[in-house]
Amino acid sequence: MSSSLFTLTLIFTALLVIHIVYKIIAKLQPTKDYSGIGQKIKTWWGMFVIFCLATLFNPIVSLISLMVLAFFSLKEYFSMIRSTRKADRRLFLWAYLAIPVQFYWIYIGWYGMFIVFIPLYVFLVLPLPRLINKGTVGFLRSVSSTQWGLMLMVFGLSHLAYFPFATPEYGSKLVLFLVVLTQLNDVVHYLVSLYLGKRKVVPTANPFVTWEGFACAFIVTTATSYFIHPYLTPFDWKFSLFIGVLISLAGFFGSLTVSVLKRDLLIGDDNKFDSLKKSYLSRVDSLTYTSPVMFHVVRYFFDFM
């Protein structure tokens, strides 16, 4: 417990310093858009609270917190889908009901059902409410977009909640390790793209995703993984470099995918697109990819999972 308290104190101090520096820089340079970094810092604080709850109290509290996060992320995703059909809204309701069931499998430790419930059973059953007496207009778009949301916002993020249950000894620290690297990767990418970025990856979707940002974030994330792994993980230095590379790549693809997804769903609605920059989706976009990737790679190579 003493080592955990020391880790929590160290993290709290680091977060406080980062937050103060961010506020000072944002005030000194009001013309620069630092809103993306501000949202990431808020995410860090939120994940820090979840880490504290899982470490000092009970992992069930962090499980419920992440379930609520998945709900609001999915809710924001559905708000982007332009549909006034009553049948589609009913389908969204069925999708919401899958959230507590998915997290229940985590609570009872049923890994087999956890891993196939949304990709298989929900995928097969989800079309049924839409099929029965609802017509064929917009069927594929309605069902596929709903399943996409469940896979990203619920299935992807639920892996974050499974760590403390899969390995009580290392779970909470692995969550912190994952979140720190994922958010650091996003922040470095954003800052480098803001000041030095010239070659945009997808200029029509997100001007702050550049190849220069990707390269710098890749190096910083991999190096940070190497330096912090002795304090938060049971990995050796080789695996820490490997997992740092994976987190950087997965975070890049996750952020890029959600950016393109938002732009596609909100074409012609720039006001709503700008408002979603401060949304849950913008805070967890990378985690929807990095969480399942790290979970399954660690589970494959280590027996403690």
Comparing C-alpha atoms, which of 72, 65, 68, 67 is closest to residue 50? 65
Listed ranges 107-111, 134-138, 206-210, 260-264; the one with the highest mean pLDDT: 107-111
Comparing C-alpha atoms, which of 241, 276, 254, 247 is closest to residue 184? 247
42-64, pLDDT tens digit by residue?
Answer: 777 777 777 677 666 677 888 88
pTM across the whole model:
0.85
Mean pLDDT (the chain) is 84
Comparing C-alpha atoms, which of 282, 245, 288 is closest to residue 43? 282
194-215, pLDDT tens digit by residue?
Answer: 888 788 888 776 777 889 999 9
Per-residue pLDDT, averaged over 71-88, amounts to 79
Calpha distance 176→161 (Å, rounded): 12
158-193 as b/e: b if 16+ CB within 10 A: bbbbbbbbbbeebbbbbbbbbbbbbbbbbbbbbbbb
Helix or strand run (H / E) with residue 75: helix 59-80
Comparing C-alpha atoms, which of 146, 179, 137 is closest to residue 47? 179
